[in-house]
Amino acid sequence: MTKVIKNGTIVTADRTYKADILIEGETIKQIGADLKGDETIDAEGAYVIPGGIDPHTHMEMPFMGTTAAETFETGTWAAACGGTTMTIDFVLPGADGSIKNAINEWHRKSGPQICSDIGFHCAVTGWNESIFNEMKDAVDMGVNSFKHFMAYKGALMIEDDEMFASFKRCKELGALPMVHAENGDLVADMQQQMLEQGITGPEGHAYSRPPEFEGEAANRAITIADAAGVPLYIVHVSCEQAHEAIRRARQKGMRVYGEPLAQFLTLDESEYFNTDWDHAARRVMSPPFRNKQHQDSLWAGLQAGSLQVVATDHAAFSTEQKRMGVDDFTKIPNGSNGLEERLGVLWTQGVETGRLTMNEFVAVTSSNVAKILNIYPRKGAIVEGADADLVVWDPSITKTISASNHHSILDYNVFEGFEVTAQPRYTLSRGEVIWAWGQNSQPQPGRGKFVPRPAFPSAHAALSKWKALTAPKQIHRDPLNIPSGV
């Protein structure tokens, strides 16, 4: 059974050209002119892009005394409706602290539900011998990136010496360390100060997490990664201070990656000063939204290449869950939505404004993610042999984002009212059309697959080689050469 996508303009991270794409089963068989297949998918007037990959989601995540409302089914379905065909979700170890058990638990929860493909990162939230050992098990299970929380004191936060030990273990295993960069000690103190001053509303969340706290932690994590000799991925970069740290590190030859979020690029801190408590609380996430100058910095970073990928950190808590913090902003579950909106918002506010080229758009939403996370070109590319995760991206479909028409389980949408100027006409996951605009497509839970990611991406090996070459070396001296009379 073959399909051909006809009459479209293929847009990849490095090329824009007219060609048909022949799909056989789950993969791309051929790219060229006048191809024929058993079925035809029309892409006239549209672009054909690699399916989006969201490198940062939290579906059904147990967090801050509750569990994220978005299920693996609704999350991966919403993603597909917005043109994202793969999500990388964060596994959090449970009460027993076991990484292996946590990964198995994520498989158990996600397997029957996912509508498109998934991969996992895993959090390292402490340090002991079994974590050291189980990091190897995780890599063997296809989970080769580990997130370290420098914030959430008293819960997920890890200390510097533990982080250093874990980063060194990542280097040995060919795994990628990731950090949530905020100074958790300072945040905890500032939160208390805010509460003591009677600032109990969501504005206190923003005040207690200034950009300096993020920049400091980003610099610290970069220093620790450099000392360990391992690349570093900084998640949810929200501000110039963290971006500056990344930029400077990269300019010195360090392998550091930065991930701004679609929310950070388009929504700002004024949301927290909204007099409607629910409105403000729904946007509480860490780090918080920043001002326009920070947004400009993030856009410039995507243009310059100092920031590489755009994620959502989709952690969807309902209004009712957000109200857990009605008297105390520190109890508002942290997280916001964006999985379905990421491509449309980034296209409209990035490509349509000239801030990004179409090729840069593809790079930051798909190809760069696949390269950094070592699944390229199986994912993130339009080449023969790649998985046929493809989106027929139609710049003539406009939509007003709203909770009333989105596919997320959430009762609100932080992008409510945003006009987007392109949407998927078709979304294909491994060759199957799973979403068609205006055709009442339905979710197909369980058809998604877990995609194991191999260790030792090329940047890792290159850095190890360079570190070995430039490592401190003992100077051998002949003691008999000591000048006489000394």
CA separation (Å) from 58 to 71, 118, 326, 469, 479?
A: 9, 12, 23, 39, 62
Question: Which residues contact residue 189 at a Cβ distance below 8 angstroms, ignoring those fewer than 6 apart?
Answer: none
Q: Shortest gap between Cβ of 260 and ligand URP (angstroms)?
A: 13
Measured between its terminal Cα atoms, the distance across the chain in Å is 87
Provide the mask over 154-183, with x wherever binding to ligand URP is found by CB under 6 A and - wherever it is not. --------------------------x---
Q: Which is nearer to Zn ion, 183 or 349 (CB)?
A: 183
Among Zn ion, ligand URP, none, what binds residue 335 when CB lies within 5 to 8 Å by partner kind?
Answer: ligand URP
Which residue in the shown chain puts its C-beta closest to ligand URP? 334
Q: Which helix (H) or strand (E) holds 135?
A: helix 129-140
Among 203, 313, 341, 360, binds ligand URP (CB under 6 A): 313
Q: Are 41 and 280 within 8 A, CB to CB?
A: no
Q: Which is nearer to ligand URP, 250 or 322 (CB)?
A: 322
Q: Shortest gap between Cβ of 341 and ligand URP (angstroms)?
A: 16
Among 169, 180, 209, 399, binds Zn ion (CB under 5 A): 180
Cβ-count burial 223-235 (b if 16+ within 10 Å, e if not): bbbbebbbbbbbb
Among ligand URP, Zn ion, none, what binds residue 285 when CB lies within 5 to 8 Å by partner kind?
Answer: ligand URP
Half-sphere exposure of 79 (CA within 13 A, CB side): 39
Interface positions, 286-315, toward Zn ion (CB under 5 A): 313
Q: Which is nearer to Zn ion, 185 or 269 (CB)?
A: 185
Among ligand URP, Zn ion, none, what binds residue 334 when CB lies within 5 to 8 Å by partner kind?
Answer: ligand URP
User: Counting contacts by CB under 6 A, is residue 315 touching ligand URP?
Assistant: yes
Q: Which is nearer to ligand URP, 47 or 264 (CB)?
A: 264
User: Counting contacts by CB under 6 A, is residue 125 touching ligand URP?
Assistant: no
Pair of tokens at residue 38: 């058993």
CA separation (Å) from 135 to 13, 32, 92?
A: 33, 44, 13
User: Counting contacts by CB under 6 A, is residue 116 touching ligand URP?
Assistant: no
SS3 177: strand
User: Rounded to an integer, what distance in angstroms lies between the CA atom of residue 316 and that of residue 311?
Assistant: 14
Residue 216's nearest CA partner among 191, 250, 188, 182 is: 182
Which residue in the shown chain puts its C-beta closest to Zn ion? 180
CA separation (Å) from 50 to 183, 190, 285, 376?
A: 36, 43, 29, 11
Interface positions, 378-397, toward Zn ion (CB under 5 A): none
Among ligand URP, Zn ion, none, what binds residue 185 when CB lies within 5 to 8 Å by partner kind?
Answer: Zn ion
Residue 428 backbone class (left: φ over 0; alpha: ψ -120 to 50; beta: rest): beta
Q: Shortest gap between Cβ of 153 and Zn ion (angstroms)?
A: 7
Among ligand URP, Zn ion, none, what binds residue 351 when CB lies within 5 to 8 Å by partner kind?
Answer: none
Residues that bind ligand URP (CB under 6 A): 58, 180, 236, 285-286, 313, 315, 334-335
Residues that bind Zn ion (CB under 5 A): 180, 185, 313
